[in-house]
Amino acid sequence: MDKKIRRIGVLTSGGDSPGMNAAVRAVTRTALHYGMECIGIRRGWQGLINGDFMILNSSAVRHILALGGTILYTARSEEFMTEKGREKAVSTCKMLGLDGIVAIGGDGTFRGALELSRLGIPVMGIPATIDNDIGCSNYTIGFDSACNTAIECIDKLRDTMQSHERCSVVEVMGRHAGFLALYVGIAVGATCVLVPEHEMDFQKDIVERIQNARLGGATHFMVVVAEGVGSAIDIGKRIHEELGLDPRVTVLGHIQRGGAPTGRDRETATRMGYFAVKAFAEGRTGSVICTQEGSIVETPIEEALAKTKHLQMYRYEILEAVSASAR
Residue 47 Cβ vs ligand F6P, minimum distance, rounded to whole Å: 17
Cβ contact 101:93 at 8 Å: yes
Of 131, 133, 144, 265, the active-site residue reads 131
Site residues for ligand F6P, 83-102, by CB under 6 A, read: none
Q: Is 168 helix (H, G, I), strand (E, B) or coil?
A: strand
Query: Cβ-count burial of 62 within 10 angstroms (0-12 exposed, 13-18 middle, 19+ buried)?
Result: exposed
Write each residue from 163 to 182 as x if it is in contact with ligand F6P (CB under 6 A), else as -, in one continuous string.
----------xxx-------
Taking the C-alpha atoms of residue 104 and residue 319, their distance in angstroms, rounded to an integer, is: 33
Q: Which is nearer to ligand F6P, 122 or 174 (CB)?
A: 174
Q: 283 to each of 122, 269, 271, how far by Cα in Å?
A: 10, 21, 18
Q: Does 131 bind ligand F6P (CB under 6 A)?
A: yes
Q: What are residue 206's phi and psi, to 5 degrees?
A: -120, -60
Q: Which is nearer to ligand F6P, 5 or 232 (CB)?
A: 232
Q: Does 129 bind ligand F6P (CB under 6 A)?
A: yes
Q: Which is nearer to ligand F6P, 13 or 325 (CB)?
A: 13
Q: Does 37 bind ligand F6P (CB under 6 A)?
A: no
Q: Is 82 helix (H, G, I), strand (E, B) or coil?
A: coil
Dihedral sign for Cα 150, 156, 160, 163, please: positive
Among 130, 136, 210, 232, which residue interacts with ligand F6P (rule: CB under 6 A)? Answer: 130
Residue 260 Cβ vs ligand F6P, minimum distance, rounded to whole Å: 17
Q: Which of 247, 15, 13 is nearest to 146 (CA)?
A: 15
Q: Does 227 bind ligand F6P (CB under 6 A)?
A: yes
Residue 301 Cβ vs ligand F6P, minimum distance, rounded to whole Å: 19
Annotated catalytic residue 131: yes
Q: Say how many residues touch ligand F6P, by CB under 6 A.
A: 10
Site residues for ligand F6P, 246-285, by CB under 6 A, read: 257
Taking the C-alpha atoms of residue 273 and residue 195, their distance in angstroms, rounded to an integer, is: 31
Q: Does 298 bind ligand F6P (CB under 6 A)?
A: no
Q: 151 to each of 16, 208, 224, 303, how far by Cα in Å?
A: 19, 24, 11, 34
Taking the C-alpha atoms of residue 81 and residue 209, their distance in angstroms, rounded to an integer, is: 45
Among 8, 9, 11, 15, which residue interacts with ligand F6P (rule: CB under 6 A)? Answer: 15
Q: Does 127 bind ligand F6P (CB under 6 A)?
A: no
Q: Does 9 bind ligand F6P (CB under 6 A)?
A: no
Q: Which is nearer to ligand F6P, 20 or 324 (CB)?
A: 20
| SS3 annotation, 268-289 | HHHHHHHHHHHHHHCCCCCEEE
**Active site residues per annotation:** 131
Q: Which residues bind ligand F6P (CB under 6 A)?
A: 15, 106, 129-131, 173-175, 227, 257
